[in-house]
Amino acid sequence: MNNVLILGAKGTLGGQLRKLYPQAVAWDREDADVTNFAALEEKIRALDPLPEAILNCVAFNDVDGAEEKKNAAVALNTVLPWNLAGLTNALEIPLVHYSSNYVFDGVAGEYDETAVPKPISFYGRSKQRGEAGIVSTNPRHYIIRTAVIFGPKGESELSKKSFVDLMIELGAKSGTVKAVNDEINSITYAPDLAAGTQLLLDEARPFGIYHVTNAGGTSWCGFADEIFRILGRDVTVEPVPSTTFPRKARRPAKAILRNTKLPSFRPWQEALRAFLTADPEA
């Protein structure tokens, strides 16, 4: 499958998908206003040929900001996916949509694809409602849950720096950085997430919910330690509780996404080394 439409094409994930689908129609915010769905639908229906699938990388990813900018979070994380599900259902094509481990409360610690979501933040609720809207509207869906994405920064001005980029910046300014040690997540390298997406489409895997992350998981503190270990930099990572950094939104204490439906992806440490050494085979 080569004829796909990528929305949010200049973000970190969108950029990696464009590498795998060089013939794709790739739109970002300057190409299409996703909040004006009538216009977006008209633009999509005008494509010739019509896409064989739509890959939606658009999201409101500011977890704390979602507590105040609820309408913006709902527009991108709930309404847009639901509308795209209706359109793709009418066109009889798959919708690929990316969700988050933050749809879970973190009590169980590890979650497979069948686990019942129980979000504890408005961001998590907006993502969970987006999932539910897709499931109820288009049976031809791939909902891909992922977590803590890092990789080459996207071209979009709205593309956020990853935790890796932030730690490298802080480490260059000071010999000590503080990192939270009581929140544990899965970790995901954007090129591996894009490759997992391509695998689903190319192999026409059964529609449904998938967990695509690199194997394993760690705290923010463990993640930072590994960054500086690989880089060989003498930076001390000071473990601190999450209460050290007051934030508006609650986070799950431990939300590891268990992948039970696809071949295992390489450990996050290997993926991190590949990124930091610019060696895709590392």
By annotation, the residues acting in catalysis are 123
Closest CA to 147 of 91, 211, 86: 211
Measured CA angle at 80 (ends 78, 83), to 5 deg: 105
**Contact partners, residue 130, CB within 8 Å, separation at least 6:** 77, 78, 80, 81, 82, 97, 99
Residue 175 corresponds to which tokens in the numbers above? Answer: 């010999």
Report the 10 Å Cβ neighbour count for 54: 22
**Which contiguous run of DSSP H or E holds residue 180?**
strand 176-180
* Cα 5 from Cα 24, distance rounded (Å): 6
* Cα 63 from Cα 124, distance rounded (Å): 8
| DSSP for 78-128, written as a single string | IIHHHHHHHHHHHHT--EEEEEEGGGS-SSSEEE-TTPPP---SHHHHHHH
Residue whose pair of structure tokens reads 């915010």 in the numeric block? 29
| DSSP for 5-63, written as a single string | EEESTTSHHHHHHHHH-TTSEEE-TTT--TT-HHHHHHHHHT-SSPPSEEEE------T
Residue 154 corresponds to which tokens in the numbers above? Answer: 């996207």
